[in-house]
Amino acid sequence: EVQLVESGGGLVKPGGSLRLSCLASGFTFSAYAMSWVRQAPGKGLEWISAISGSGDVTYYSESVKGRFTVSRDNSDSTLFLQTAGLRAEDTAIYYCAKVLGGYVGMDSWGQGTLVTVSS
Amino acid sequence: QSVLTQPPSASGTPGQRATIPCSGSNSNIGNNPVNWYLQLPGTAPKLLIYMNSERPSGVPDRFSGSKSGTSASLAISGLQSEDEADYYCAAWDDSLKGWVFGGGTRVTVL
């Protein structure tokens, strides 16, 4: 059974940074691309980043490009999202998700970790 | 403003059929497969339909998806109270080089 467990969220001041982690199990982690999707309070889903199985190809939404960095450690089956220059509008639940394949989209999701940006 | 367009709400009585449309463009739905996700309050999204019309194991056949040109739709037949949730469409966008979601449709069973 695929399991994705996010951690690292919390309260941070504007301009601050956080490193989110997602521990994966139940599948061959290195064989699959992974994504981060966020959801602001009371709002819809917003895709923000993806990384290939090998880690050599990354994608970002315009809203986080230049501030967030996605990476992975295939030896530990862990996905990371390093955030920086956080803004109030980055307040959201951050979900990691396994990509089904190619450009098909995400099939399994973690439970999410809440990031709150406030002074 | 979401790249994919969905109505904010839909409703029906138990047993009825509800349909949720999702409109996009040639760079997303027109050229890539569509997924649909269900999200119950306070929980993570769950994959409902992938590759336009395929159901993951465990998803009832009451849920069906279709795609034509730059539009897709999700149909829920035999509505049940437990179908009350938010539903999102999504597709890869070749121009934006990322996945795009619809704004979500809240389904209410009257």
Residue B104 touches chain A, beta carbons under 8 Å: yes
pLDDT in tens, B7-61: 999 999 999 999 999 999 999 999 999 999 999 999 999 999 999 999 999 999 9
B68-92 mean pLDDT: 97
- In this structure, are residues A32 and A53 in contact, taking their beta carbons and an 8 Å threshold? yes
Nearest alpha-carbon partner for A24 in A109, A106, A82, A113: A109
Tell me, what's the pLDDT at A8? 98
Contact yes or no for B99 and A46 at CB 8 A = no
Q: Using pLDDT thresholds of 50, 70 and 90, give the confidence band for residue A77.
A: very high
Q: Using pLDDT thresholds of 50, 70 and 90, give the confidence band for residue A100.
A: very high
The percent of residues above 90 in pLDDT, for chain A, comes to: 96
Which residues of chain B have a CB within 8 Å of the CB of A46?
A: 101
pLDDT in tens, A5-45: 999 999 999 999 999 999 999 999 999 999 999 999 999 99
- Report the DSSP beta bridge partners of residue B66: B73
Residue B53, H or E segment: none
Res. A103: pLDDT tops 90: no
Distances (CA, A) of A89 to A42, A85, A105, B65: 13, 11, 25, 33
- Backbone φ and ψ for A31, nearest 5 degrees, come out as -85, -5
Mutate which of B88, B99, B100 to disrupt the A interface (most A C-beta within 10 Å)? B99
Tell me, what's the pLDDT at A75? 98
Contact yes or no for B45 and A45 at CB 8 A = yes
Res. A62: pLDDT tops 90: yes
- In this structure, are residues A71 and A82 in contact, taking their beta carbons and an 8 Å threshold? yes
How many C-beta atoms surround the C-beta of residue A117 within 10 A?
A: 19
Res. A102: pLDDT tops 90: no
Mutate which of A43, A63, A104, A113 to disrupt the B interface (most B C-beta within 10 Å)? A104
